[in-house]
A and B are shown apart, each in its own frame.
Chain A
Amino acid sequence: MSARLPSGGLIDRTRRLRFSFDGRRHEGFAGDTLAAALLADGVRLVGRSFKYHRPRGVLTAGPEEPNALVELRSGARREPNTRATVVELYDGLEAQSQNRWPSLRFDLLALNGLFSPLLGAGFYYKTFMWPAAFWEKVYEPLIRRAAGLGSLSTAPDPDHYEKATAFCDLLVVGSGPAGLMAALVAARSGARVILAEQDCLFGGRCLSERIVLGDGSAHRWVQSVVAELAATPGVRLLPRTTVVGTYDHGAYTAVERVNDHVAAPPPFEPRQRLWRIVAKRAVLAAGALERPLVFGDNDLPGVMLASAVSTYINRYAVRPGERAVLYADNDHAWATVADLRAAGAEIVAIVDPRPDARARAAVVARDAPLLTGVVRRALGGRTLQGVEVVGADGHVHRLDCDLLAMSGGWAPTLHLTSHLGAKPRWDAERSMFLPEQLPPGLLVAGAAGGELTTAAALSTGIRIAEGSLQSLGIAPRGVTPPVAGEEADAWTPLWRAPSSRGKRFIDFQNDVTTDDLELAHREGFGASEHAKRYTTLGMATDQGKTSALNGLATLAALTGKSIGEVGTTTYRPPYTPVAIGALAGHHRGPDFRPTRLTPSHEWAREQGAVFIESGAWLRAQYFPRAGETDWLPPVIREVQAVRSAVGLCDVSTLGKIELKGPDALRFIERLYANGWQTLAVGRARYGVMLREDGRVMDDGTVARLGEQHWFMTTTTANAVAVYQHMQHCHQVLWPELDVQFTSVTEQWAQFAVAGPRSRELLRRILASGEDISNDAFPYMAARAVTLADGLRGRLFRLSFSGELAYEIAVPARHGDAIIRRLAAAGEDLGVVPYGLEALGVMRIEKGHVAGNELTGRTSAQQLGLGRMLSTQKDYIGARLARLPALDDPADTQLVGVRPVDGKTRLVSGAHFLPLAAPTTFEHEQGYMTSVAYSPSLGHWIALGLLKNGRQRHGERLRAVDLLRSQETEVEICDPVFIDPQGARLRG
């Protein structure tokens, strides 16, 4: 049976939209929400409740909806817990009800209702306490299936989300009469304005209520104001945009649902856009939310907020019921009676608890009975069939009806005023929470500030905007508000819920009843924040928008306090749920952060490199050749080539910092633990940097390219941190030092050319005059060079591999050309590219420490670098590095490790234990930090940190890895496995 009215509403009857709900086909019109279209098609049962699986219908017409939660769309686009009251209808929309099994009409889990004594407040904490092991395996999975909301699609979201930032003089939140007036004043005054409206249409209550403004309908007035705003430069209109959070210093976050109202976003458009709005001033004109009334079985489908009933009639041309009872404690709700009559519904009765309202209400009641009293209980199975009313005289009346429109007055939507921590104040006279301390720059207008009539909303909107503009030095241009008719607004709030055999719901979404709050109070959880956690009142997607006030009123009655004394729970962003996708924006998957590619990336890709992430960089891990299916054979081959011929490796990822100035030497002296006074121009040296707590921060090399010109490298991982540390040292600690430095990591391509034939290869690409003989360019030499084609570069004789080796640097844009030239020039020398794995193998063979040893917790002494610590100068970490604890033999020291049988593969992370002692923590002696298969030695080797390790070379221990169930007998040795005298690298 259709509940659609033959005319009226803000829907487009020429555009019919097909949609499905639980597989059944329906039709609605453009302009409908899903809830409106379902009600129009006579669908009243739309979901099952969270704990008790009770039948639920549409309660509201807005984002505060606690009941009508549906899964929207299907497949990868399935989205749970969307509120049918704000889902815009589109052709082909698919929706499913939630939390029911096997079907919405016949839900077996409704049996939960019979066990409700077990599921009361704090049931999580009580019922499932014993035995403990049952929690994870039995109770939790059962509860999760029985009590819950919708389910996620587990497929990746196919849509895009983006972020945007906007700046303005005045942000207006909400576009009812107050918001429109505020925006219009600012627009006419030439201010930059952003008007954000959560709905797809501007107008707020003007869309829902039959209001006359000036000489026409409020809706026509809205259209003229919006047209003027749209035509004014500097005004940005953001419909479908919810401002969800207030942050410090005038920053607001808003979610724009760009394409939620269509089946799928058009190409190159996002589904949603997350706005960061920086506003000099803001006006909160977000209106107010109507309060439900509490009585037995007040959750039956057919019980609706009065304002929602009016909205469905006036905006969507849907009559939510045929025979209606109005139950309200305020005069404002009487407008709903007129709306119902205009829609052709019968008014069965008006129930009003206020004796003093009788005379006034008689005007609206006309031929309907007017009952002074309260509704005790709603009657019906799956939908409302009647109500029980207790009159002031104690008489119980039973009224047949299929719709109960209820109103407990209005609560200002002040959430955004409290996000910075200020709690609202209870105004006992007006029976509402109002903001006490506002975030700087934010003011409140209209119903959000407790001004409930249209006339007051219009005038406060103008006044607040004028004040905001004046504070910015912008002269406001006058705006005359339209004349608004008088509105009845007398209100005496009814807080009491009459006793009833039915469940009296306070929080519909979480199935929290008055009994639950009474239990929480009895058990000592009567404070508002405690009651929230104990009963889940005010949690989940609606965050208590319809339940908070009734919950507080109930707690107030229980504790004998006023509502103000009980106080609200803390409001936190977001105001309405925000998809994680919107928060992530484009930052997901490989785009989580930018990927940095080395200058030789393209060439390495052509060589068949396997790449690995190294910080933000993508580096070649190894270069497999045809037939090499595993990682180890290419690594062995690459190491052997470097040790016997020559290899090429891109080391551009190292942090590179250029320093100049008369005090550069002094600065470097204070930065590094070792000394630099004796470093001659044209020479480089290994350096160790400590933190002020005495532990090793980073290591690298520093080359002196000129008297006052230095060039240093950091590890890849610490490049950013070391640069920031250097700026700190210079700007904060020693601003008097005359030194300038900058990161040039991106500016230089740098390649290691390593192996006995490296000199021969380099000669082929350098200009003929460049003498790089051992005498002219010895180990640790560094200087500018000219390449054969005249290109200027830098050459360093550094060796990480332990072989005769160089690093050649050229401007980054020439990197690709130079690596190709090196590869081509060295073909007959047997040159190979080598990757990060081979690099790691060779540094372990040489006992060089790297990230696995430089953990931030190791001291230079532990790593065998103690002799580098200068005693002749002050430097960062100098003082605390001398503390005995940093050089305690009882602590671990760097050692080499090899398997006693010369065969077994070692695993990093394995712990050292004595041969005889049991495998317990007390006997733990240290662990292996880095392992590698050494092609040079023909067996696995490792570096490790072992207690008093330097004194224990030759000792045998067990290396135990309990995770991989491996135990190996190992021998401790010197950490330098190859060429300890360094003959090769000096050759």
Chain B
Amino acid sequence: MRIHCPHCGPRGHDEFVHHGDAVPQRPQTDATDAAFHDYVYLRDNPAGLYRELWFHAAGCHSWLIVERDTRTHEIRSVTFARGDA
């Protein structure tokens, strides 16, 4: 697999560390136990488009959000997790 890092350009996937689902958001301090439980333990595993976190460990150390189709490995978009381009 090749991932187009917005900072470094297209690189082999072995430069990156996969971190799974990018969708769950860390709840606020006053959220319920159940909300924290879901955040820590529950992950979707869709057949299709998936937003996931990758860390460019052997590159610029950026955390990236990669939009990937789990059926075809087609990558639709790669953006910085921190938001700016």
The CA of A945 and the CA of B50, in the complex, are separated in Å by 41
Query: Distance (Å) between the CB of B42 and the closest chain A CB?
Result: 13
Which of B2, B29, B61 is in CB contact (< 8 Å) with A727?
A: B61
Asked whether A735 lies within 8 Å of B82 as measured between CB atoms, the reply is yes
Given the interface pairs A251-B1, A733-B26, A879-B33, the reply to whether A727 lies near B12 with Cβ below 8 Å is no
Query: Given the complex, which residues of A lie within 8 Å of B53, measured CB to CB?
Result: 728, 732
**Which residues of chain B (23-71) have a CB below 8 Å from chain A?**
26-27, 29, 31, 33, 36-37, 39-41, 53, 55, 57, 61-63
Query: Given the complex, which residues of B lie within 8 Å of A250, measured CB to CB?
Result: 2
**B73 touches A (CB below 8 Å):** yes
Which of B2, B40, B81 is in CB contact (< 8 Å) with A248?
A: B2
Asked whether B33 lies within 8 Å of A732 as measured between CB atoms, the reply is no
Query: Distance (Å) between the CB of A778 and the closest chain B CB?
Result: 35
Given the interface pairs A248-B2, A693-B40, A735-B82, the reply to whether A724 lies near B73 with Cβ below 8 Å is no
Given the interface pairs A724-B17, A727-B61, A732-B53, the reply to whether A251 lies near B26 with Cβ below 8 Å is no
**Which residues of chain A (880-917) have a CB below 8 Å from chain B?**
880, 883
Which of A251, A440, A730 is in CB contact (< 8 Å) with B12?
A: A251
Which of B1, B36, B40, B55 is in CB contact (< 8 Å) with A724?
A: B55
The CA of A250 and the CA of B74, in the complex, are separated in Å by 11
Asked whether B83 lies within 8 Å of A724 as measured between CB atoms, the reply is no
The CA of A276 and the CA of B27, in the complex, are separated in Å by 43
Query: Distance (Å) between the CB of A170 and the closest chain B CB?
Result: 17
Asked whether B40 lies within 8 Å of A731 as measured between CB atoms, the reply is no
Which of A251, A732, A880, A883 is in CB contact (< 8 Å) with B2?
A: A251
Given the interface pairs A249-B2, A728-B19, A732-B53, the reply to whether A692 lies near B63 with Cβ below 8 Å is no
Asked whether A732 lies within 8 Å of B63 as measured between CB atoms, the reply is yes
- For A167, the closest partner residue in chain B by CB is B10
Asked whether B36 lies within 8 Å of A728 as measured between CB atoms, the reply is no
**A878 touches B (CB below 8 Å):** yes
Given the interface pairs A251-B1, A731-B62, the reply to whether A880 lies near B73 with Cβ below 8 Å is no
- For B81, the closest partner residue in chain A by CB is A732
- For B2, the closest partner residue in chain A by CB is A249
**A278 touches B (CB below 8 Å):** yes
Asked whether B73 lies within 8 Å of A248 as measured between CB atoms, the reply is yes
**A247 touches B (CB below 8 Å):** yes
Given the interface pairs A248-B73, A724-B17, A728-B19, the reply to whether A735 lies near B2 with Cβ below 8 Å is no
Asked whether B33 lies within 8 Å of A883 as measured between CB atoms, the reply is yes
Chain B CB within 10 Å, residue with most, of A249, A693, A730, A735: A249
Query: Given the complex, which residues of A lie within 8 Å of B31, measured CB to CB?
Result: 879
Which of A247, A728, A735, A883 is in CB contact (< 8 Å) with B83?
A: A735
- For B27, the closest partner residue in chain A by CB is A879
Query: Given the complex, which residues of B lie within 8 Å of A880, measured CB to CB?
Result: 36-37, 40
Asked whether A878 lies within 8 Å of B80 as measured between CB atoms, the reply is no
Asked whether B82 lies within 8 Å of A249 as measured between CB atoms, the reply is no
Asked whether B55 lies within 8 Å of A248 as measured between CB atoms, the reply is no
The CA of A728 and the CA of B62, in the complex, are separated in Å by 9
Asked whether A249 lies within 8 Å of B63 as measured between CB atoms, the reply is no
Given the interface pairs A732-B63, A733-B26, the reply to whether A727 lies near B1 with Cβ below 8 Å is no
The CA of A235 and the CA of B39, in the complex, are separated in Å by 52
Asked whether B12 lies within 8 Å of A276 as measured between CB atoms, the reply is yes
**A979 touches B (CB below 8 Å):** no
Chain A CB within 10 Å, residue with most, of B26, B27, B31, B33: B26
**A707 touches B (CB below 8 Å):** no
The CA of A668 and the CA of B2, in the complex, are separated in Å by 34
Query: Given the complex, which residues of B lie within 8 Å of A693, measured CB to CB?
Result: 40-41
- For B35, the closest partner residue in chain A by CB is A879
Chain B CB within 10 Å, residue with most, of A248, A251, A874: A248
Asked whether B57 lies within 8 Å of A249 as measured between CB atoms, the reply is no
Asked whether A727 lies within 8 Å of B36 as measured between CB atoms, the reply is no
**Which residues of chain A (29-56) have a CB below 8 Å from chain B?**
none
The CA of A952 and the CA of B76, in the complex, are separated in Å by 59
The CA of A278 and the CA of B72, in the complex, are separated in Å by 18
- For A877, the closest partner residue in chain B by CB is B40
The CA of A733 and the CA of B50, in the complex, are separated in Å by 19
- For B41, the closest partner residue in chain A by CB is A693
Query: Given the complex, which residues of A lie within 8 Å of B57, measured CB to CB?
Result: 724
Which of A251, A276, A733, A874 is in CB contact (< 8 Å) with B29?
A: A874
- For A693, the closest partner residue in chain B by CB is B40
Query: Given the complex, which residues of A lie within 8 Å of B40, measured CB to CB?
Result: 692-693, 880
Q: Mark A79-95, 1 if CB is under 8 A from B, else 0.
A: 00000000000000000
Query: Given the complex, which residues of B lie within 8 Å of A165, measured CB to CB?
Result: 12
The CA of A251 and the CA of B81, in the complex, are separated in Å by 26
Query: Distance (Å) between the CB of A810 and the closest chain B CB?
Result: 26
Query: Given the complex, which residues of A lie within 8 Å of B82, measured CB to CB?
Result: 730-732, 735
Which of A247, A731, A874 is in CB contact (< 8 Å) with B63?
A: A731
The CA of A244 and the CA of B27, in the complex, are separated in Å by 47
Query: Distance (Å) between the CB of A819 and the closest chain B CB?
Result: 31
The CA of A440 and the CA of B75, in the complex, are separated in Å by 12
Chain B CB within 10 Å, residue with most, of A440, A879, A883: A879
The CA of A248 and the CA of B29, in the complex, are separated in Å by 41
Asked whether A879 lies within 8 Å of B36 as measured between CB atoms, the reply is yes
Asked whether A248 lies within 8 Å of B12 as measured between CB atoms, the reply is no
Asked whether A247 lies within 8 Å of B1 as measured between CB atoms, the reply is yes
The CA of A733 and the CA of B19, in the complex, are separated in Å by 14
Query: Given the complex, which residues of B lie within 8 Å of A251, measured CB to CB?
Result: 1-2, 12
The CA of A731 and the CA of B61, in the complex, are separated in Å by 10
Asked whether A728 lies within 8 Å of B1 as measured between CB atoms, the reply is no
Query: Distance (Å) between the CB of A314 and the closest chain B CB?
Result: 42
Query: Given the complex, which residues of A lie within 8 Å of B62, measured CB to CB?
Result: 731
Query: Distance (Å) between the CB of B18 and the closest chain A CB?
Result: 12
Query: Given the complex, which residues of A lie within 8 Å of B27, measured CB to CB?
Result: 879
Q: Mark A539-581, 1 if CB is under 8 A from B, else 0.
A: 0000000000000000000000000000000000000000000
Query: Given the complex, which residues of B lie within 8 Å of A731, measured CB to CB?
Result: 62-63, 80-82
Query: Given the complex, which residues of B lie within 8 Å of A249, measured CB to CB?
Result: 1-2, 73, 75
- For A250, the closest partner residue in chain B by CB is B2
Query: Given the complex, which residues of B lie within 8 Å of A276, measured CB to CB?
Result: 12
The CA of A154 and the CA of B26, in the complex, are separated in Å by 53
The CA of A860 and the CA of B12, in the complex, are separated in Å by 39
Query: Distance (Å) between the CB of B37 and the closest chain A CB?
Result: 8
**Which residues of chain A (722-744) have a CB below 8 Å from chain B?**
724, 727-728, 730-733, 735
Query: Distance (Å) between the CB of B85 and the closest chain A CB?
Result: 13
The CA of A413 and the CA of B39, in the complex, are separated in Å by 48
The CA of A165 and the CA of B17, in the complex, are separated in Å by 20
Which of A692, A728, A879 is in CB contact (< 8 Å) with B55?
A: A728
- For B61, the closest partner residue in chain A by CB is A727
Query: Given the complex, which residues of B lie within 8 Å of A883, measured CB to CB?
Result: 33
Chain A CB within 10 Å, residue with most, of B62, B80, B82: B82
The CA of A249 and the CA of B17, in the complex, are separated in Å by 18
The CA of A712 and the CA of B39, in the complex, are separated in Å by 28
The CA of A732 and the CA of B40, in the complex, are separated in Å by 15
Query: Distance (Å) between the CB of A742 and the closest chain B CB?
Result: 9
The CA of A883 and the CA of B75, in the complex, are separated in Å by 39
Query: Distance (Å) between the CB of B11 and the closest chain A CB?
Result: 10
- For A874, the closest partner residue in chain B by CB is B29
Q: Mark A151-182, 1 if CB is under 8 A from B, else 0.
A: 00000000000000100000000000000000
Query: Distance (Å) between the CB of B28 and the closest chain A CB?
Result: 8
Asked whether B29 lies within 8 Å of A878 as measured between CB atoms, the reply is yes
The CA of A727 and the CA of B55, in the complex, are separated in Å by 9
The CA of A730 and the CA of B55, in the complex, are separated in Å by 12
Query: Given the complex, which residues of B lie within 8 Å of A278, measured CB to CB?
Result: 2, 12
Closest 9 pairs between A and B when the two form their complex, measured CB to CB: A249-B2, A735-B82, A731-B63, A874-B29, A731-B82, A248-B73, A248-B1, A879-B36, A732-B81
- A to B CB contacts below 8 Å, 16 in the list: A247-B1, A248-B1, A248-B73, A250-B2, A251-B2, A251-B12, A278-B12, A420-B72, A440-B74, A693-B41, A728-B19, A732-B82, A735-B82, A874-B29, A878-B29, A880-B40
Known: A249-B1, A692-B39, A880-B36. 12 other contacts (CB 8 A): A247-B1, A248-B1, A249-B73, A278-B2, A278-B12, A692-B40, A693-B41, A724-B57, A728-B55, A731-B82, A732-B53, A874-B29
